[in-house]
A and B are shown apart, each in its own frame.
Chain A
Amino acid sequence: MTSLAQLFFDAASLGGIYAMAALGIALIFGVMNLVNFAHGEYIAFCVFALIVPSTEAVAVMFLGKAPAFLLIPVLLGLGAGAAVASEYVVFRHMRKATPVAMMISSFALGFVIQNALLAVYGGRPKAISLWPDLNTPVGVLGAQVPLLQLIVVLTTLLVVCALALLLKKTRLGLEMRAAAENFTMARLLGVRANVVITGAFALSGALAAAVALIMATQTGVADVRMGGQIMLVAFIATVIGGLGSLPGAVAAGFLIGGASVLLQAFLPLEVRPFRDAFLYTLVIACLLLRPQGLFAASSAKPRI
């Protein structure tokens, strides 16, 4: 039977993935009022970067063969690079566009990335094995928990703390917080819009890469459609958390992960396949009670 400790680690690790994905979306929304629906595709892109490009059913590891100390920084850099490049190619030209136009172009960008992956890697999901040892269970508080779950929980905490420190203690962080609250005023004080926005995209892309590493290890599957599912949940988390609020995105990510695991465990067997229907009912209830999100952001006003 599933013990309480088991449930806790399931919830915390799933929530951690959602929280990191939601943070990636909230960071960019904070500085430029853009809901970047291509974020899920950054994650998929990073997962596929692990394997050799081919349409064969069997995946051959490419970047994934590198040792962890090399693989992790390279993939984080790749994720950051992809996000920054997409800002440079697409969103930079839309700075004066309405948030809706920007959002639609992010959808378009997402489709472009997804179809590029489809063309290069084929549509069939591929089994990949990245760090298989991490899925061996270890005993914690009487529960059998895969080592990876522990690592995910610790990584999430580490990432959240590092991001908080970066925002609180560095020049870029200060400028990002100022720009998130009032972009025009920050620019009037000499804060460079390009630096802040590029910085936000780079951080967001690196977060996507971290999520990609965890998902690839946990599920062992590379699927061109994998970005859509995580993007949906992460987007919901940013809305529930209060669009633009970083602590809100983290809290809501954990909340959704926790609710999902609890529903899975305690729903009667016959309705369990409809878990997501119950989950999204809770989401709707949450939004009815607090439409502005659990944590109202101070940045929810137009950019210019």
Chain B
Amino acid sequence: MMSKLGVFDVSVRYGKVPALTDVTLHLEEGERVFISGPNGAGKSSLLGAISGAVATTHGRIEMDGHLLTGRAPEAIARLGLSMVPEGREIFGSLTVSENLRVGTGLRRDRGAVEGDIEEIFEAFPILGERRHASAGALSGGQQQMLAIGRALMTNPKLMMVDEPSLGLAPKIVDQVYDTLVQLQEERGLTLLIVEQSSTRAARVGGRMILLRGGSVVGDGDAAAFAEKDLLSEAYFGQSKAQPKKEAAQ
């Protein structure tokens, strides 16, 4: 069977520095997959390569049988891929509701846009209250909600979320994940999430792919990762002298 997303032998390098080396992975329709690994493992480069924002030097990427490699980011977005980037990348000078509208230009069902915006405001009431406020004035958690809402407004089939927990209080992170899971169940989305914490991933549930030094070093149930030492090995190599407590954070 053809998988939802197929990454085959993909390499990315920035100048002479390799960021990803021959990465192969597959996502099935409706699956929830976490990408984890230490800083510099190539997590964001992988998302960048899939979304078209970062050029690949080798390999190919397919979604629903369409070749993504070599396509412009806007063309990939049109095929049904949406992105909640690291650091959220909200348009701070635009209002909350304008942020939600930016991604609706690719939709053919323009008539449904207004209704969908109201739905986002129902899911995130705080965004509805501040719909005419400048998005730059929102708190970090609210901006994360807005980034998710903005990505949903393109009506994606596959959504990628880069470090949704970055810079947010644990309570807010719980909310963000509750929302993501709920949205996935409602819409049948396929989710690819970068998440540093295996315990967090295990709690949410799903498959986990572990990257290290630009290569896949592990692939399995997130809960299994949380129990095993695999993650700390990925972080600190074979040296057991390093403290392990940070890995779980």
Question: Is B91 positioned at the interface, with any CB of A under 8 Å from its CB?
Answer: yes
Give the contacting residue for B98; candidates A174, A185, A191, A192; CB below 8 A: A174
B94 touches A189 (CB 8 A): no
Cβ-Cβ contact count across A and B, 8 Å cutoff:
69
A185 touches B85 (CB 8 A): yes
Contacting residues, chain A, for B53 (C-beta < 8 A): 184, 187-188, 304
A187 touches B72 (CB 8 A): yes
Question: Is A10 positioned at the interface, with any CB of B under 8 Å from its CB?
Answer: no
Instruction: Report A166 CB to chain B, min CB distance, Å.
Output: 14
Question: Is A93 positioned at the interface, with any CB of B under 8 Å from its CB?
Answer: no
The proximity string for A residues 151-192 relative to B, scoring 1 for CB distances below 8 Å and 0 otherwise, is 000000000000000000001001101100110111111111
- Give the CA-CA distance A298 to B136 in the complex, in Å: 11
B94 touches A181 (CB 8 A): yes
Give the contacting residue for A171; candidates B82, B83, B85, B105; CB below 8 A: B105
B93 touches A191 (CB 8 A): no
Question: Is B58 positioned at the interface, with any CB of A under 8 Å from its CB?
Answer: no
Instruction: Report B52 CB to chain A, min CB distance, Å.
Output: 8
B93 touches A189 (CB 8 A): no
**Given A182-B91, A298-B93: A191 touches B102 (CB 8 Å cut-off):** yes
Contacting residues, chain B, for A177 (C-beta < 8 A): 91, 93-94, 98
A189 touches B150 (CB 8 A): yes
Give the contacting residue for A298; candidates B83, B92, B105; CB below 8 A: B92
Question: Is A61 positioned at the interface, with any CB of B under 8 Å from its CB?
Answer: no
B93 touches A190 (CB 8 A): no
A190 touches B94 (CB 8 A): no
Give the contacting residue for B106; candidates A182, A190, A193, A304; CB below 8 A: A190
Binds A, one of B73-81, B179-187, B210-218: B73-81
Contacting residues, chain B, for A184 (C-beta < 8 A): 53, 73
B73 touches A187 (CB 8 A): yes
B85, B103, B151 pick with most chain A CB within 10 angstroms: B103
A185, A186, A304 pick with most chain B CB within 10 angstroms: A185
Question: Is B130 positioned at the interface, with any CB of A under 8 Å from its CB?
Answer: no
For window 282-304 of A, CB contacts with B under 8 Å fall at 298, 304
Give the contacting residue for A187; candidates B74, B82, B91, B101; CB below 8 A: B74
**Given A190-B103, A190-B154: A178 touches B74 (CB 8 Å cut-off):** no
- Give the CA-CA distance A171 to B102 in the complex, in Å: 8
A188 touches B77 (CB 8 A): yes
Contacting residues, chain A, for B154 (C-beta < 8 A): 189-190
For window 108-162 of B, CB contacts with A under 8 Å fall at 150-151, 154
Question: Is B51 positioned at the interface, with any CB of A under 8 Å from its CB?
Answer: yes
B94 touches A188 (CB 8 A): no
Name which residue of chain B comes closest to A96, CB basis.
Answer: B55
- Give the CA-CA distance A294 to B227 in the complex, in Å: 56
The proximity string for B residues 56-92 relative to A, scoring 1 for CB distances below 8 Å and 0 otherwise, is 0000000000000000111001100011010001011
Instruction: Report A177 CB to chain B, min CB distance, Å.
Output: 6
Give the contacting residue for B51; candidates A175, A181, A186, A188; CB below 8 A: A188
Contacting residues, chain A, for B93 (C-beta < 8 A): 177, 181, 298
**Given A177-B94, A190-B77, A191-B74: A185 touches B105 (CB 8 Å cut-off):** no
A191 touches B94 (CB 8 A): no
B91 touches A178 (CB 8 A): yes
- Give the CA-CA distance A186 to B103 in the complex, in Å: 8
Contacting residues, chain A, for B101 (C-beta < 8 A): 174
A175 touches B102 (CB 8 A): yes
Name which residue of chain B comes closest to A186, CB basis.
Answer: B102
A187 touches B77 (CB 8 A): yes
Instruction: Report B201 CB to chain A, min CB distance, Å.
Output: 24
- Give the CA-CA distance A181 to B88 in the complex, in Å: 13
- Give the CA-CA distance A297 to B154 in the complex, in Å: 28
Contacting residues, chain B, for A192 (C-beta < 8 A): 74, 105
Contacting residues, chain B, for A187 (C-beta < 8 A): 52-53, 72-74, 77
- Give the CA-CA distance A171 to B72 in the complex, in Å: 20
Contacting residues, chain B, for A190 (C-beta < 8 A): 74, 77-78, 103, 105-106, 154
B-side residues, CB < 8 A to A, are: 51-53, 72-74, 77-78, 82-83, 85, 89, 91-94, 98, 101-103, 105-106, 150-151, 154
Give 20 CB contacts A-B under 8 Å: A174-B102, A175-B105, A177-B98, A178-B91, A178-B94, A178-B98, A178-B102, A181-B94, A182-B89, A184-B73, A185-B89, A188-B53, A188-B77, A188-B85, A189-B77, A189-B82, A189-B106, A189-B154, A190-B77, A191-B102
A-B pairs with lowest CB-CB distance, top 6? A190-B106, A189-B103, A190-B77, A187-B73, A185-B89, A178-B102
What 18 additional pairs, Cβ within 8 angstroms, besides A174-B98, A187-B53? A174-B101, A175-B102, A181-B92, A181-B93, A182-B89, A185-B91, A186-B102, A187-B52, A187-B73, A188-B53, A188-B74, A189-B82, A189-B103, A190-B105, A191-B74, A192-B105, A193-B72, A304-B53
